[in-house]
Amino acid sequence: MQRHANTDGDVGGAPPSTARERVPQWFAAALLPLTTVCRPGLTEEQVQGYYAALGDLGPDVLMAAASKIAASRVYPTYPTPGEIRREATDIVAGHSAAPSFGEAWSIALCASRRLSTVTDPAYRIIRNGRVMSPEEFNAAIFQAMPPIVAKTLRLFGMNSLTEDEICRSQFRKMYEETVERERSRRMLPAVLVARIEAIGNQERQKPSAEFDLAAIASKIGKEPAASRLDVPLLRPRTESVN
């Protein structure tokens, strides 16, 4: 998502600089549902911070998220940018939002029973007049599933799903972790995601410390005698008996 232009023609899309970023009128208008019910209101500096964190959402999505929070908020405290972005992310996801675990478990269990376990690439499966390899057949099943459920089933093991409580509990844990990870990723502005990935790529490209294990092993027990510690042997203590 790119930062939206304000009425004066200023366009964002990059992280705010050290200088104060100009907050467009649409941003304050979009937060109006919260401004009218939450106390205390935001200071000028806080508005700058909220715009830096939420300015890429756009007026319609931001106002919908603000209205949803204002209608359901129990305490009149102002929500954090993270709370607003979470609601906005769910609104944008719409029908593509993650199914409940009960729905996901039912879909995954049904799919796992249909998936082919044949590994012979020459084998062919005929469905509805279509001739497919086992790989193509399984790919069609995964494609028909909600993406987040398909991803979890691939991670879990497409032939590892069984209808018992232990398997159900393990799948639930993996599904909820995957949903939360994907949701957290979607919540971040695109510019920030790109920056984080760039930093990660730079770190992975740094040369790691390498050790010549063979050379180290060949030196074990061969150090010069002068470098060894001479530790006197302990002699048993003797006492004279009078």
If DSSP states are collapsed to H, E and C, what string results for the chain? CCCCCCCCCCCCCCCCCCCCCCCCHHHHHHCHHHHCCCCCCCCHHHHHHHHHHHCCCCHHHHHHHHHHHHHHCCCCCCCCHHHHHHHHHHHHHHHHCCCCHHHHHHHHHHHHHHCCCCCCCCCCEEECCEEECHHHHHHHHHHCCCHHHHHHHHHHCCCCCCCCHHHHHHHHHHHHHHHHHHHHHHHCCHHHHHHHHHHHHHHHHCCCCCCCHHHHHHHCCCCCHHHCCCCCCCCCCCCCCC
Quick one: average pLDDT of 69-90? 90
Q: Is residue 176 part of a domain?
A: yes
Q: Is residue 80 part of a domain?
A: yes
193 and 178 fall within a common domain = yes
pLDDT value, residue 27 = 93
> Does pTM top 0.85 for this prediction?
no
pLDDT value, residue 13 = 41
Among the residue ranges 21-25, 73-77, 227-231, the one predicted with the least confidence is: 227-231
pLDDT value, residue 182 = 81
Considering Cα of 125, then 126, then 127, then 129, what sign does the dihedral take?
Answer: positive
Over 60: is that where the pLDDT of 72 sits? yes
Backbone angles phi, psi at 184, to 5 degrees: -65, -40
Range of the domain at 196: 101-202
CB 15 within 8 A of CB 191: yes
Q: Is residue 175 part of a domain?
A: yes
186 and 152 fall within a common domain = yes
The total of structural domains in the chain comes to: 2
**Interatomic CA distance for residues 4 and 194, integer angstroms:** 18
Over 80: is that where the pLDDT of 56 sits? yes
**Interatomic CA distance for residues 181 and 224, integer angstroms:** 55
110 and 49 fall within a common domain = no
Q: pLDDT band for position 208 (50/70/90)? A: low
Taking residue 168's Cβ as centre, other Cβ atoms within 10 Å add up to 15
Among the residue ranges 56-70, 174-188, 207-221, the one predicted with the least confidence is: 207-221
Among the residue ranges 29-38, 45-54, 135-144, 157-166, the one predicted with the least confidence is: 157-166
* Share above pLDDT 70 across residues of the chain, in percent, rounded to a whole number: 75
pLDDT value, residue 91 = 85
pLDDT value, residue 10 = 36
Q: pLDDT band for position 80 (50/70/90)? A: very high
- In the predicted model, what is the mean pLDDT of the chain? 79
178 and 127 fall within a common domain = yes
